[in-house]
Amino acid sequence: MGSNEWYTPKWCIDAARQVLGGIDLDPASCEMANRIVQATRYYTEAEDGLLQPWYGRVWLNAPFGRLADGSSRLKLFLERLIAEYECGKVTEAITLVKADPKQRWFFLLWEYPICFAVDRVYFLRPDGPPQKHQFGTAFVYLGPDEQRFIAVFSRFGATVKCVQRPEIFGQGDFWKELGEGAKEVQHATTI
């Protein structure tokens, strides 16, 4: 059985550094991954980054999987990142996530610029050669210099930002809550 560790490749970190100027914290990492990330401080799985203070310029390649209660680990890390950014403890951040806009946790990210990579990222593995996931990758920026993020990350894919969200977006069954005529709207928007 292989490792569940997927370390970010150097080119992603180099681009993040161009935007952030440096990385103060990686709240979901390990010694091996930090050889590339080179965050001033990182939290290991044993330290549980969700229980530690977050601050400064953050790089986040959050862990996947579920906790014992069934909650998404990724969603918990994203909620924490956004909360710490909104209260000012995190000054800027870039997070790398699965490019899967239909997931509930992805709805949290639409307030920020998102770069959808044109190809899947090859992640470094502790137990073998680099591998890519079966799904795409997106980079999300939280910070004051959106234009810099767009300029740097545009070489990897299209960058988008949501211009309008329905109030029910990400809550419950979106199409059911639209009511009568939802099937026509759903069909029209998926063509």
Same domain, 178 and 109: no
Q: What is the DSSP string of 43-61?
A: --TTT-GGGS---EEEEE-
Same domain, 85 and 28: yes
Same domain, 137 and 181: no
- The amino acid occupying position 85 is Y
Same domain, 25 and 48: yes
Same domain, 52 and 135: yes
Same domain, 64 and 76: yes
Q: 13-44, pLDDT tens digit by residue? A: 999 999 999 999 999 998 888 888 999 999 99
Q: Is residue 74 part of a domain?
A: yes
Task: Say if residue 55's pLDDT is above 90.
Answer: yes
Same domain, 64 and 80: yes
Same domain, 123 and 180: no
- pTM value is 0.81
Same domain, 64 and 124: yes
* Range scoring the smallest mean pLDDT among 103-107, 152-156, 182-186: 182-186
Structural domain boundaries enclosing 27: 10-160
Same domain, 82 and 168: no
Look at the chain and report how many structural domains it folds into.
Answer: 2
Instruction: Give residue 48's pLDDT.
Output: 94
Q: 121-164, pLDDT tens digit by residue? A: 655 556 766 556 667 899 999 999 999 999 999 999 999 998 77
Q: 82-93, pLDDT tens digit by residue? A: 999 999 999 999
Q: In what order do the strands lie in the sheet with 25-26?
A: 41-42, 25-26, 56-60, 90-98, 137-142, 114-117, 157-160
The sign one gets for the Cα dihedral 71, 60, 164, 162 is negative
Same domain, 20 and 47: yes
